[in-house]
Structure 1
Amino acid sequence: MSLNLTGTPSTSGTGGSTLDTDLNTAYDLANMVWVGTAGALVWIMVPGIGLLYSGLSRKKHALSLLWASIMTCGVVSFQWFWWGYSLVFAHNTRGNGFIGTLEFFGFKDVLGAPSSVSTVPDILFAFFQGMFAMVTGILMVGGACERARLMPMMVFLFLWITIVYCPIACWTWNAEGWLAVFGALDYAGGGPVHITSGHGALIYAMILGKRNDPVAKSGMPKYKPHSVTSVVLGTVFLWFGWFGFNGGSAGNATIRAWYSCVSTNLAAACAALTWMFIDYFRFGRKWTTVGLCSGAIAGLVGITPAAGFVPVWASVIIGIVTAVGCNFAVDLKNLLHIDDGMDVYALHGVGGAIGSVMTGIFAADYVNDSAGAAAVAIDGGWINHHYKQVGYQLAAICCTVAWSSVVTAILLLIMDRIPFLRLRLRPEEEELGTDSAQIGEFTYEEDAVYIPEPVRSKVSAQVPEPPTGIDDKIAQNAASDGSISTENEARGKEKVTI
């Protein structure tokens, strides 16, 4: 039976009824393919951050940071469905662009009407932007490394995405958002993702307090990464996923999307080399792998607000300047006496701010207009003689820093005074390790694996009967000779079929 699709798509509600209207005719399918693919690329960044954090941590906390990345996918996905997308990208806002309404609560009517980016429908844009919320969430919880209780972390993450991330994202990316109307430029998340998560992580670390370290009683604890391999693998996932992060933010498959991918790659490459050379001269003249990875991430952060606005040659400058700024910003935790063990603030808070300012300097109208008919005109930055743009960028940075820092602090202080939402592990739990104290599973210690449910198998584990008669005497003699040392060693050789 053929469908009688004679209806005309609308621009409100669901966009029309799928029973009598082909909603796809309103969109270029190539644009939808690219934005959907980009969303999947951004998703891979979340476990990538988990691998990065896990590699930088100590062994006894390594699994908890991988756990945090998958937990973030779950919590933020639900929050985004529940009301997150509506609070950010509702077609109507409250408070002069401060926050969205709940018109899309529970994804009600999220289907085929044009989204804030008119080239794709609401349902696709909700998928794509939900990944950005996940990335922001996992970056922020990095401030709690090695000392936070996990259940309060989940509650905090849900609330933080709701009252910190969603308003800032609405200000910046909703067509009616007050920062967007004001004139601030942010291509893919310098403010909502990086500045917000960096300062959220800094406040989280500050309120939790310094990790217990009997050696570094006065300064900040500093530990070697337990797995540089995990750091590299996490960086690979991030660099790869960032092509979707920035390329997909064009909202279409135009030249602007691919232009931003080239800028993204070049900024990361230049920043990686810059950080490595700085570390070579600052720390023991070694070509450090962690330095390369840190620099690449700094460059990716710096180019994020700028990628779809600035010429390719400017990405070289942005990568170098961001790497230098973030490298020296790592030392700020010693001045501030805040134990930000994953350096989220230095890389994302500082890197996002640097990238935002550089956007105001290098934004060019011709790069923005490479999107063709889909482009929304801008005045550009300093290279277009629009000198006020840096002022707009600084105003946006200040508002984002103030909101994320103050609201995060208030939320954490309130939670910590609720007994069952106490934020920090007890000292003995922290010494034992988050993996053991909170999860009961381990990344490396196979002899201490905890299985939360009984092991069910078709064949039961068989324990040999004690030897009798002559066999008993042989066993006793062997034990006296030392050939059978202990009962536990003998049992360790048993074969268990599951």
Structure 2
Amino acid sequence: MVNITYDTAGSIVWLNAATDPPVEVVYSPGDIAWVLTSTALVWLMIPGVGFFYSGLLRRKNALSLIYMGMITLATVALQWFFWGFSLAFSDTASPFIGDLQHFGLKGILEKPSIGSHRVPALVFCIYQLMFAAFTPMLAVGAFAERSHLGPLLAFVFAWSTLVYDPIACWTWNKNGWAKKLGGLDFAGGTPVHISSGTAALAISIYLGKRKGYGTDSLAFKPHNATYVILGTIFLCFGWFGFNGGSALAANLRAAQACVVTSIAGSAGGLTWMLWDYRIEKKWSAVGFCSGVIAALAAITPGSGFVGAPAAVLFGVMAGTICNFATLLKYFVGYDDSLDIFASHAVAGTIGNILTAIFAQKSVAGFDGFTEIKGGWLDGHFIQLAWHIADSASGLGYSFAMTSIILWVMHYIPGLRLRVPEETEIIGIDEREMGEFAYDYVALRRELKPTAYSNGTTTKPTMAQRNA
């Protein structure tokens, strides 16, 4: 029996009959509506990543990246149902990983969530599913242009279980070691951006370079800047739900998170674009969009803790450091086709460190109930050490575990990820999907000679056509 009623104001009241005397917990329909709206906003970010990545690639692989977004969401939705939510957010979790208390979403309905007593567990569950699906989508972009699509389903399921769920548990679960230590990560600096960016680095090293990479830079130019801009629009729009929704209530703290998100993204886009302009003296739309994404990743952990002036610094630092971090692949010698490590792992680390410095008790208290000791601005200097430890743990754990998953799959028949050279030359869309992002005929004419009605590749004469 579900112990819920509605008071005269329309608020939902849950009665915990297990206590003596029974305790009433009041849920606000407005808070529930805001979190569910934020869920839809974050959902939109997943195809947004697909369009952003697709535009950065060559035309013959454009559809596969958009496809990856939807198939990742579907795979993680089932993983989250089976045990993902329980491993990350069970009440009886260890400092590192949860148990199967909520296997198959058992016991997930009207009781208060572990994230906030102001929303039911069911609402919190579906909201967190969007984070769980968005994170591996960031990482699988590293498979672009040189990976089989079928084994990706197994990789996403395994990676979500072995990498994302433990990091989410130690960061956000009340029993997690980073949470208990005092780490401040509002919306996913370590669980989302550091974990996915570092996984992309491991994937890039495992797969090796694409054919021709490093010899013909023009051949690897983004094929559709419009897709890049469209993906950025989806991501910016959804990020208000990503950061603002993490307040789990429609309150002043959620509004502040939205404000600093907008400021940081704007500063980051302009900064990256200006750094690119100094080299080519051109105003790059792709550069601007790259800076926006890097800055949004950086502000994510601090969005519920920092003020508007600090948000400008988050954007400028991310737009600068992440721009130069894209050069790492040339010095180290790996092929990160979409610069995911630079744009997410580096940005997430920047965000964690700046959050430790600029977090304020007053900002966190905008919701009326959150109390923190703050960062360096509030004289709490140990916060920086905690955040460095958390960032290093996320970097090391994600890289090691992702590498293990990749090499285990490498030796399992049917799960090897790297495609043959011929498939890479023709394109993933042609060989793995048999479908294309653009006109079928035009692409086939690029790949092989046209067969005319006379059965040859020679255009028929007027007499032959009239015969």
| TM-score in terms of structure 1 length | 0.85
For residues 170 and 257 of structure 1, the distance between their equivalents in structure 2, rounded to whole angstroms, comes to 22
**Alpha carbons of 1:164 and 1:222: their partners in 2 closer, same or farther (altered >3 Å)?**
farther
Who is 2:249 aligned against? 252
Q: Give, in angstroms, the shift of residue 314 of structure 1.
A: 0.3
Give the structure 2 partner of residue 241 of structure 1. Answer: 238
Note if 1:137 corresponds to 2:136.
yes
Structure 1 residue 350 and structure 2 residue 346: aligned?
A: yes
Q: Distance in 2 between matches of 1:108 and 1:485?
A: 72
Partners of 1:41 and 1:245 within 8 A in 2: yes
Distance 2:292 2:328 in 1: 20
SS in 2 for 1:379: coil
Change (3 A) 1:141 1:252: same
Aligned to 1:382: 376
Aligned to 2:448: none
The count of aligned residue pairs is: 441
Structure 1 residue 9: deviation in Å? 3.0
Partner in structure 2 of residue 493 of structure 1 = none
Which amino acid is 1:382 matched to?
Answer: W
Question: 2:402 pairs with 408, 432, 454, which one?
Answer: 408
| Amino acid in structure 2 at the alignment position of 1:483 | M
Contact 2:4 2:13 in 1 (8 A): no
Which structure 1 segments of 5+ residues have no match? 16-20, 451-480, 491-498
Q: Once the 2 structures are TM-superposed, how far is the Cα of residue 141 of structure 1 from its aligned partner? A: 0.1
Alignment match, 1:361:
357
- Encode CA deviations 1:220-270: one digit per residue, 9 max, x unaligned: 897111000000000000000000000000111110000010000000001
- 1:81–1:11 Cα change, 3 Å: farther
Could you tell me how far apart the structure 1 residues matched to 2:402 and 2:100 are? 23
Q: How does 1:203-222 map to 2 (within 5 A)?
A: 203-213=202-212, 216-217=214-215
Contact residue 264 and residue 312 of structure 2 kept, 8 A: yes
Q: Within the alignment, does 1:437 sit opposite 2:435 as a pair?
A: no
Q: Which residue of 1 aligns with 2:55?
A: 55
Counterpart residue number, 1:372: 368
Q: In 2, Cα distance between the equivalents of 1:250 and 1:267?
A: 18
Preserved contact between residue 146 and residue 418 of structure 2 (Cα < 8 Å): yes
Task: Give the superposition deviation at 1:200.
Answer: 0.4
Distance of 2:317 and 2:140 partners within structure 1:
26
Deviations 1:292-325 (Å, cap 9, x if unpaired)?
1011111101100001001111000110011101
Q: Distance in 2 between matches of 1:483 and 1:320?
A: 65
**Deviations 1:29-81 (Å, cap 9, x if unpaired)?**
11101011001000000000000010000000000001101101110111111
Three-state SS of the structure 2 residue aligned to 1:75 is helix
2:314 alignment partner, SS class = helix
Aligned partner of 1:418: which letter? I
Once residues 77 and 276 of structure 2 are traced to their aligned partners in structure 1, the CA distance between those partners, rounded to angstroms, is: 38
1:286-305 to 2 correspondences below 5 Å: 286-305=282-301
Report the equivalent of 1:128.
127
Using a 3 Å threshold, how does the CA distance of structure 1 residues 113 and 485 change in structure 2: closer, same or farther? Answer: farther
Q: 1:293 to 1:411 in 2, by over 3 A?
A: same
Gaps of 5+ in 2: 7-11, 445-459
Q: CA deviation at 1:12?
A: 8.9
User: Residues 105-120 of structure 1 correspond to what in structure 2 (within 5 A)?
Assistant: 105-116=103-114, 117-120=116-119
Asked whether the 8 Å contact 1:90–1:103 carries over to 2, the reply is yes
State how far apart, in whole Å, the 1-side matches of 2:112 and 2:286 are. 43
Question: In the alignment, is the contact (CA less than 8 A) between 2:13 and 2:27 conserved in 1?
Answer: no
Aligned to 1:45: 45
Post-superposition offset of 1:10: 4.3
Structure-2 separation of matches of 1:92 and 1:258:
32
Distance in 2, Cα, partners of 1:336 & 1:220: 17
Contact 1:441-1:449 within 8 A present in 2 as well: no
Which protein has the larger Cα radius of gyration, Structure 1 or Structure 2?
A: 1
How far is 1:98 from its partner? 1.0
CA distance in 1, matches of 2:192, 2:251: 24
Asked if the contact 1:222/1:341 (under 8 Å) is kept, the reply is: no
- In the TM superposition, what is the alpha-carbon distance from 1:109 to its structure 2 partner? 1.4
Structure 1 segments of 4+ aligned residues over 6 angstroms from their partners: 219-222
Q: 1:394 aligns with which of 376, 385, 388?
A: 388
Equivalent position SS for 1:115: coil
Q: 1:275 to 1:8 in 2, by over 3 A?
A: closer
Question: Which TM-score applies when normalising by structure 2?
Answer: 0.90
Question: Do the aligned residues in 1 keep the contact of 2:4 with 2:14 (CA within 8 Å)?
Answer: no
Partner of 2:87: 87
Aligned counterpart, 2:453: none
Q: Residue 204 of structure 1 contacts residue 408 of structure 1 at CA under 8 Å; is this kept in 2?
A: yes
Q: Secondary structure at the match of 1:435?
A: helix
Q: CA RMSD in A?
A: 2.4
Q: C-alpha displacement at 1:86, in angstroms?
A: 0.6
User: How far 1:208 sits from its partner (Å)?
Assistant: 0.6
1:426-476, Cα deviation, whole Å (9 max, x unpaired): 1101111000110010112422899xxxxxxxxxxxxxxxxxxxxxxxxxx
Distance apart, 1:162 and its partner CA:
0.3
> Partner residue of 1:272?
269
